[in-house]
Structures are given as C-alpha cells and as structure tokens.
Amino acid sequence: MIRMSKMLVFVSLCLVWLLGSDICIAARQELTVTTIKQDPYTMSKGSQLEGYCMDLLTELAKKLGFKYKVHLVKDGSYGRQDETGNWNGMIGEVVRGEADLAVAPLTLTAAREKAVGMTKPYMQTGISILLRKDIISEEAGFFDFLSPFSGETWFGILIAYFVTAVCICIVARLSPCEWSQPETEPNNFTLLHSLWYAAGALSLQAHRLVLCSSAIQGAGPHPKAVSGRVISCTWWLFSVVLLACYFSSLSSAPGSDSAPLMIKGFEDLANQDVMEYGTLSGSSTLAFFKNSNNPSYRRIYEHMERRKSFVSSMDEGVQRAKEGNYAFIGESVSLDLAVARHCELIRAHEVIGMRGYSIVTPLGSSMLKNLSIAILQLSEAGELAYLRTKWWASSCLPENAKASSLRAHSIKGIFLVLAIGLGIGVVLSLLELTSKSRSTAGEQKKSCCTVLTQELSQRLRMTNTKPEQETADKSKA
C-alpha cells in the first residue's frame, strides 16, 4: 500500500509538472510585440495596423506557429541608452520584459546587440542623402544634346530626311518644268545634291537661301517646278517645327536652369556651405558620423552639431528637404520611400555605412535562432523582395518617360504632314509630265501613253543618252 501511495504521488507530480509545462507553453504562444508607427513599416488602418513589418510578422507567425498581440511603444522611441545605462523605446521594453519581440526598422548595432538579441537582418540599408531635384545640377554628359528626342524619334527623323531627298531627286527628274530637255541638258538635282539641299533646310540654311538672293546665286540649283516647291515648303515646315520642339525640350530639360550646385555624395556635401544639412536627432545615423574617423564624415558631424540642424522625426526631415536648401541624411530605404511618395525629391547614389534591420528578442531567447532561420527562408523564397516591392511602390512617372511621350505625341502630326506633302509633290510632278506628254503627242501625232512611257524611261534612266553617244563617237574618232 505504501508503495502504491508513493507511485500515485509520483504520477500525480508528473501530471502536475506536465500540465504546468503545457500551460506555460500555451501562455507563451501569444507573444507581446512592440512596434512604432513609421510609413510603410507600421501604419494605422482603422483600429488595425498594417505595413511591411505587420506582413513580415504575419509570415513569421505562420512559419513558427505562434500567436501575438501588437502594441505601439509608449514613449515613441526606437531605443537609446542613456548615461546610466538604461534603455528607452522599444529596446527598453524588451529589456524590461514588457514585450517579447520588437518588430520595427531597428538597426543592428553593437550596443544593442549587447543588451538584446537581434535576428539576421530582414532588410539591408545604409546612409544616404535626400535632396530636392531642382536645386542640384547633374554633370552634363557628352550626348545630352540628344536627350530632347528619344532614339525612335531620331531614327524617324533620319528616315524622313532620306525619303525627302529621294523624293526631291525623283520630282526633279519627272517634272518637265525642272528638267525640260533630258536629251541635251544634264540633271542638276542629283541624289547627292538632294541630300545636301535637304540637310541645308534642316539646319536652317534653306531659310537663308530663300531670304538672301546673294546666297541663292552661290548655293546651287533650287526647285523651279510647283511639285518641287511643294516638297521643299513641306520639308521647311517640318524642319521649323522639329527645331522648335527640339530647342523647347532642350531648354526645359531637368537641371538646365538649376543652381550650380553639384552634390553626388558626402564628400561634396562636406565641401560646400551653401546648403544646410542634418539628420535625425539621437539616431544611429548620427552616431555613425560621431564615431567615424573619416575626415569628411567628421566635418559633417561637427557642422550638424555646431548648427544644430537635427530634426526630431523622419517626416520633419522630408518636409525640410521638400522646402528646399536642406539635405536630409538618413537611412537609404526610408529615403527611397520618400522619393516614391514625393516626386520632387531625389536620393543621392552614394550609400555608406551599410547595416541591416533586425527583429529584437530578449537576450538569450530561444526564439532568436528560429526567427533568424525563418527570415532567411522568406528571403530565399522571394517573400521579402515581394514585400519591399509592395510597400515601396512609386506613383511617380519618370520625367524622361513623360517628356518622351509628349514629344512623340506632338511630333507625330508633323511626320504625317511631311508624308502628305511628299505624296502631293510626286503626284504633281507626274501630272506635269503627263501634261507635257499630251501636248507632245498632239504635235507628233502619237498616242499619249507612248510618249509618256518614253519620257518616263528617259527621265528615270540614271545616265543620259546624248552624253553616252558623244562618248562613243569620241572613242571611234
């Protein structure tokens, strides 16, 4: 009986221990998560929260099988250690046990790693510069003069030039007003001269030829027939509209009237005193410049400390950059979001101090490794890239694309006018030739079709019959 009593006591204790463990596990399954409002990581949507971090938390909960409840950090801070060694913000809540996890854009730093556990980074970032587009000028490229038109437009202009030159050459051969005696007279409008004539009109030389009689005498032949003049006038109109569009687009190109301020990176920022700059007060970005041994970075920190050009929030930094004459230094991913939301802003290409955003757990937590593995799995599956695309989507249409579409729309009509003018010119030259053939047929008592066929054969022949005959006679002699 005594043995049985001992066995019952032992079994009861085991049941109590197992039941207690299950209760503890069940209690731990609902984790308390602290976060902070920052677009697009965590944002309010009615009574709920949404954003990149909320989607990330949902995916991690599915993989690891835990439940959670989220609250916003009480003091609205990320986490900074004071002189006494105490932490505030989300880091402080995790350290004091008020939260099991901190899911937010928290930068992985050595000081934080000593106080809490931090997972593998779920997003890589760095430090960059946010500026307004119209107050900086970019270095001009060798071929920037081609930028007013797209490649397709330049190709279309080249095709139009060659087609016009060929049409001028054909009309000059077909029209009897232009070439009255093909048997005895050489044709002055060769293909080479037609190409030169069309190029002269495109470079505004044709306008000088029309307005200056002295220029006409030394510039070579010009169309005398109505058909040739129709093509010439159409090509001049095309040239005027084309050049007007070109110079208009070139003068309104981005950076053409901007201030002569060149800022490509932090070296340029440190070496100028025209533009004010600053960063978020008490941030890891400020600590980076404060602790750096790089002379340029030290000058940037000393300038910000001397001028007290810090901002209290990300929104304030973005707003000051939008107002102009202020460069906001911050996390590159946050600046990318500002550029996506505010089309007048631009981020500098240079990124320094690469670091990552991590999820925070209590120091020595058993969940740390599982969370890191889950983050790596989400990264390998492309889920993190999808979330980045989802929440960083830009509504800004690139200026080059907008300008190109406007240019294509405005120039399309003048291409159509040129095509119509070329067609009218060729038809008129055929009518002129037909009229002459009809009068010649009446004089020679032949059919009009026979005379027209002979005229076309003679005029479209690349070499003249008489010069060939004279050459043959000379060789016989």
pLDDT at 258: 43
- Which residues are CB-contacts of 301 (< 8 A; sequence separation ≥ 6)? 286, 289, 290, 292
For residue 467, is the peptide bond before it cis, meaning its omega torsion is within 30 degrees of 0?
A: no
SS3 278: strand
Cα angle at 210 between 208 and 215, to 5 degrees? 60
Alpha helix (H) ranges present in 30-86? 52-64
Under a CB-based contact definition with an 8 Å cutoff, are residues 104 and 78 in contact? Answer: yes
- Phi/psi of residue 374, each to 5°? -65, -40
- Which residues are CB-contacts of 55 (< 8 A; sequence separation ≥ 6)? 387, 390, 391
What pTM did the predictor assign? Answer: 0.54
Q: Is 91 exposed, middle or buried (0-12, 13-18, 19+ CB in 10 A)?
A: buried
Other C-beta atoms within 10 Å of 54: how many?
20
Under a CB-based contact definition with an 8 Å cutoff, are residues 323 and 300 in contact? Answer: no
Question: Which of the four pLDDT bands, split at 50, 70 and 90, describes residue 375?
Answer: very high
pLDDT at 396: 76
Question: Which of the four pLDDT bands, split at 50, 70 and 90, describes residue 380?
Answer: very high
- Phi/psi of residue 35, each to 5°? -150, 180
Pair of tokens at residue 441: 């047929």
Choose the most confident range, by mean pLDDT, from 25-39, 140-154, 272-286.
272-286
Pair of tokens at residue 335: 């600046």
Sign (positive/negative) of CA torsion 375, 335, 400, 203? negative
Pair of tokens at residue 115: 């106080």
User: 54 versus 427: which is more confidently predicted?
Assistant: 54
Please, which contacts does 193-199 make with residues 24 or more away whose CB atoms are closer than 8 Å? 193/220, 193/221, 194/165, 194/166, 194/168, 194/169, 195/161, 195/162, 195/165, 196/220, 197/165, 197/168, 197/222, 198/161, 198/164, 198/165, 198/168, 198/235, 199/161
Binding residue per annotation — 178? no
User: 182 versus 277: which is more confidently predicted?
Assistant: 277
Binding residue per annotation — 234? no
Under a CB-based contact definition with an 8 Å cutoff, are residues 276 and 321 in contact? Answer: no
- Report the distance separating Cα 119 and Cα 360, nearest Å: 7
Binding residue per annotation — 284? yes
Q: What is the share, in percent, of the chain residues with pLDDT greater than 70?
A: 72
pLDDT tens readout for residues 295-352:
999 999 999 999 999 998 888 999 999 988 899 999 899 899 899 889 889 999 899 9
pLDDT tens readout for residues 231-285:
888 888 888 888 877 777 766 655 444 445 678 889 989 988 888 999 998 887 8
Pair of tokens at residue 104: 């937010």
Under a CB-based contact definition with an 8 Å cutoff, are residues 184 and 466 in contact? Answer: yes
State the angle between helix axes of 151-174 and 399-444 in degrees (0 to 180), rounded to the nearest 10.
Answer: 10
Pair of tokens at residue 302: 């000393």
- Which residues are CB-contacts of 400 (< 8 A; sequence separation ≥ 6)? 147
Would you say residue 448 has pLDDT above 70? no
pLDDT at 409: 54
Other C-beta atoms within 10 Å of 107: how many?
21
Q: How does strand 276-279 pair with strand 326-331?
A: parallel
Pair of tokens at residue 81: 């250690």
| 358: β partners | 106
Nearest to 131 by CA among 302, 308, 313, 265: 265
- Report the distance separating Cα 417 and Cα 136, nearest Å: 40
Binding residue per annotation — 316? no
Binding residue per annotation — 112? yes
In residues, how long is the chain?
477
Nearest to 171 by CA among 238, 237, 222: 222
